[in-house]
A and B are shown apart, each in its own frame.
Chain A
């Protein structure tokens, strides 16, 4: 059974701090790893990672994948209160076709002013 584990489950920091969110996985036929930010409604797409060691960056957010050690990290620098959300890691794995994602439980990030 495919498994995605995120840590920490919950994190409270002050504005301006840098945070690192972790995601490890055990899946058969790995295809890609995705990060989503979920506030009150739909998860919004952040990054899709398929290759090891290549950092993806968008503003203050960056992410990297290690396919040998089976994990990914999501970094957020100079955090702002608007970064408060649940960050979901999901892995696409399978035989091909439109395989569903397996989600981790999420990291609930709270940024205090």
Chain B
């Protein structure tokens, strides 16, 4: 069965650079969520989109922005990267509201 696809798998950037992470939800899933998981930490909710509109916002820094496109894929844009942004970034998708989230394998971002 098709799963949530994230790219790239790994990304190394320097401080103050920008990064763009991509997420392709499970087909027919209309809701996308972004989470950040630091080493040894639980996933922290960043932002979500439903039907291409921002739905909820968590602990997403102002330096980050995201959007969901007409084909339902989503991109997380991260600017002025800091060392503390190094983490595993998960995308999850669900079929509408009230159905379980299914996670992608994540993008591991390392900021040096």
Contacts and interface: CB of A to CB of B under 8 A. Distances in A.
Nearest to B3: A42
A57 to B, nearest CB: 16
A30 B105 CA distance: 27
Contacts of B94: 98
B105 A42 contact: yes
A101 B90 contact: no
Contacts of A106: 42
A42 B90 CA distance: 7
B98 interface: yes
B106 A41 contact: yes
Given A31-B98, A34-B100, A98 B106 contact: no
Contacts of A31: 98
Contacts of A113: none
Q: Which of B43, B90, B99, B104 has the most CB of A within 10 A?
A: B43
A97 interface: yes
Interface in B84-112: 90, 94, 97-106
B56 A99 contact: yes
Given A42-B4, A45-B102, 10 more contacts: A41-B105, A42-B103, A43-B103, A88-B42, A88-B43, A98-B33, A98-B97, A101-B43, A103-B42, A103-B43
Interface of B: 4, 31, 33, 35, 41-50, 55-56, 58, 90, 94, 97-106
Interface of A: 31-32, 34, 36, 41-45, 48, 88, 94, 96-106
